[in-house]
Amino acid sequence: MDLSVLVPLMRRLALEAGDVIMAIYEGPDFAVRAKGDSSPVTEADEAADAVISAGLKNAFPDVPLITEEQAASHTISADSFLIVDPLDGTKEFVQRRGDFTVNIAYVAKGVPVCGIVYAPAKGRLFYTQADGSAVEEIGPFDKAGPGEVRQVRVAQPDNAALMVVASKSHRDQATDDYIAQYAVREMTSAGSSLKFCLVATGEADLYPRLGRTMEWDTAAGDAVLRGAGGQVVRFDTHQPLTYGKPGWDNPFFIAYAPGVLLK
């Protein structure tokens, strides 16, 4: 995979999908229905999926493409693939809270080596460059090419005063009990894959997820965090989270800045 070709394509497709999403988000109303797993889906999810899928398939017809909205038809056929969540944080979208993202990633041999996370309602755009480093682009965003970018790096954590981010829509007692084991200076809630990006930029040190997620929920944010020097590990073994698993389900995980003393 030529990342120098893939990165600008992912960036453009994410911005185009963001435009489609925002046109629906800012409209008077939109329909919401439940998928087979009872999670919500809207016309914005499906429209963004169509934009991204068409662009990726046209450019890379021989690379397997996994997307949330087409998940029922997917089987693992290669150790490298593109993986997309066209609208992560649908609950935030439906409730008009703004914490939703467009996520596109490339996985090679179980590792998300390249990813982009775009939060159109927040005006924040994070991605990995061809060399693997993570950046945040400063808007306004031109589809023709990137503007000003700043490299992002995880913070040096203070284990006596950690900054923790947790899910806004999926917070539970198990998560609170786990966080209670740490000395926390600041607690933040955020939706979607933005939580990975807050750790990547040093706005948080620790993001634990003790709940169900799928690989398309995490791959892009995981890539950005890794590119910023962070890590994502399984909750049970503290071994790196891998991709290409049967069924695309993730185990519980912890995303963090190195130096956090994991419990």
**Are residues 33 and 145 both part of a single domain?**
yes
Q: Are 62 and 39 contacting, i.e. CB atoms less than 8 angstroms apart?
A: no
Whether 97 and 127 map to the same domain: the answer is yes
The answer on 133 and 42 residing in a single domain is yes
Task: Write the CATH number for 220.
Answer: 3.40.190.80
Looking at 104, 124, 151, the residue that finishes a domain is 151
Residue 238 counted as domain residue = yes
**Do residues 80 and 108 touch, judged by C-beta distance below 8 A?**
yes
Q: What pLDDT was estimated at residue 208?
A: 97
Is 240 part of a structural domain of the chain?
yes
pLDDT in tens, the chain (263 residues): 999 999 999 999 999 999 999 998 988 777 666 655 546 667 888 899 999 999 999 999 999 999 987 765 566 666 899 999 999 988 888 888 888 999 999 999 999 999 999 999 999 999 999 999 999 999 899 999 999 999 999 999 999 999 999 987 667 889 999 999 999 999 998 888 999 999 999 999 999 999 999 999 999 999 999 999 999 999 999 999 999 998 899 999 999 999 999 99
User: The domain spanning residue 14 has which CATH number?
Assistant: 3.30.540.10
3-state SS, one letter per residue, for the chain: CCHHHHHHHHHHHHHHHHHHHHHHHCCCCCCEEECCCCCEEEHHHHHHHHHHHHHHHHHCCCCCEEEHHHHHHCCCCCCEEEEEEEEECHHHHHCCCCCCEEEEEEEECCEEEEEEEEECCCCEEEEECCCCCEEEECCCCECCECCCEEECCCCCCCCCCEEEEEECCCCCHHHHHHHCCCCEEEEEEECCCHHHHHHHCCCCCEEEECCCEEHHHHHHHHHHHHHCCCEEEECCCCCECCCCCHHHEECCEEEECECECCC
232 lies in some domain: yes
Residue 261 forms part of a structural domain: no
Pair (35, 137) in one structural domain: yes
Q: By residue range, what is the domain housing residue 204? A: 162-256
Query: Could you tell me if residue 263 is inside a domain?
Result: no
- Is the residue at 121 inside a domain? yes
Domain finish residue from 151, 181, 197: 151
The answer to whether position 221 is within a domain reads yes
What pLDDT shows up at residue 38?
A: 47
Same domain, residue pair 131 and 190: no
Instruction: Examine residue 156 and state whether it is found in any structural domain, yes or no.
Output: no
Residues 11 and 83 in one domain: yes
Number of domains in the chain: 2
Inter-CA distances, 142 with 15, 56, 138, 215, Å: 9, 19, 11, 29
Same domain, 138 and 205: no
Q: Which of 151, 182, 213 is the last residue of a domain?
A: 151
pLDDT of residue 147: 93
